[in-house]
Amino acid sequence: MPSPADAAPPTPALVDDLGFGYSPAAPPRRVVSLVPSLTEAIAVSAPQLLVGATDWCLHPAGLRVTRVRGTKNPDLRAIEALAPDLVVCNQEENRELDVRRLRAAGIAVWVTRIETLDQAFTSLDRLFTVALGTPRPAWLDAAEAVWAEPATGPRRRAVIPIWRDPWMVVGPGTFTADLLDRLGYDNVFGGIPTSGSEGSLDRYPHVEVTDILATAPDLVILPDEPYVFTADDGPEAFDGISTVLVRGRDLTWYGPSLVAARAELLGWLARVR
């Protein structure tokens, strides 16, 4: 019989991006994702693991898994019925209440926190190599290389509305704001104080069109998600200011789409320089 000194140390708990640990008996084999970006990442890299996803998880095309409603209102009973080894969430996309309820039901949850591109690369690496126990995806290396390239040309000032009626824009401390900076654009709403929360910044400020116009941006970037801006719905509000319509997932998704997103966005932005 080996002595205590010879015994193998206990397996340390795995810790997610928010510092919450859990100790799986084995690498997960049944995974539910409540984040569209992460659903695509898992489906592309380890499709055999994915058994459930939200109704909003539309990529990759033809994904066939059990649907468990939305990111903000997941069907917890449906998730529990899938008997997942792990549920993947995101601090911004999903509600803390749902994470707590899943854990109370005995379901392991891995929560990601992604507010910059560098955080995305680190978080995605940990998701696969630590939480899922799979190799680091090749597309992650490709994405890091693409976004390491410096921005070229003079910097310009831009605003990214994400909703209207009421109008909301991308503020500071967000993944999209960091991505915009990497493209060579300054976010004109990069420092909006939150009313009633002294010293903090509103990550998605509510504004009026007059507030946007007052900043005199060089460009208004209109994505097709979460609000679906179109040629007939959005540009007319910004008479005299250049506008460009882009794919929302190129601005907000962290996953395999990052490999092509930079070139896609720069292509659209170059048309209005």
pLDDT tens readout for residues 241-273: 999 999 999 999 999 999 999 999 999 999 886
pLDDT above 90: percentage of residues in the chain: 86
Domain-located, residue 5: no
The CATH number for 206's domain is 3.40.50.1980
Mean pLDDT of the chain: 91
Q: Which amino acid is at 149?
A: E
Domain-located, residue 32: yes
Contact 111, 99 (CB under 8 A): yes
Domain boundary among 87, 103, 136: 136
160 and 122, same domain (yes or no): no
30 and 128, same domain (yes or no): yes
Residue from 19, 32, 131 nearest 76 by CA: 32
Domain-located, residue 141: no
| CA atoms of 162 and 81, how far apart (whole Å) | 35
pTM of the model: 0.89
pLDDT at res. 7: 42
Q: How many CB atoms lie within 10 A of CB 65?
A: 19
pLDDT at res. 32: 98
pLDDT at res. 273: 65
Total domains in the chain come to: 2
pLDDT at position 15 over 70? yes
What phi-psi label fits residue 118: left (phi over 0), alpha (psi between -120 and 50 degrees) or beta? alpha
**166: preceding bond cis by omega (within 30 degrees):** yes
Owning domain of residue 113: 14-136
| CA atoms of 35 and 96, how far apart (whole Å) | 14
Rounded alpha-carbon distances, angstroms, from residue 66 to 72, 78, 173, 243: 17, 9, 33, 39
Output the CA torsion 86→90→91→93 (10° steps). -130
26 and 132, same domain (yes or no): yes
pLDDT for 103-148, tens place per residue? 999 999 999 999 999 999 999 999 999 999 999 999 999 999 999 9
pLDDT at res. 201: 58
Contact 166, 212 (CB under 8 A): no
pLDDT at position 3 over 60? no
pLDDT at position 167 over 90? yes
Domain-located, residue 211: yes
Tell me what percent of the chain is helix, strand and coil, each rounded to the nearest 5: 30, 20, 50
Domain-located, residue 6: no
Output the CA torsion 251→256→261→264 (10° steps). -130
What would the two tokens of residue 254 be?
Answer: 């962290």
4 Cβ contact list (under 8 Å, min separation 6): none
pLDDT at position 193 over 90? no
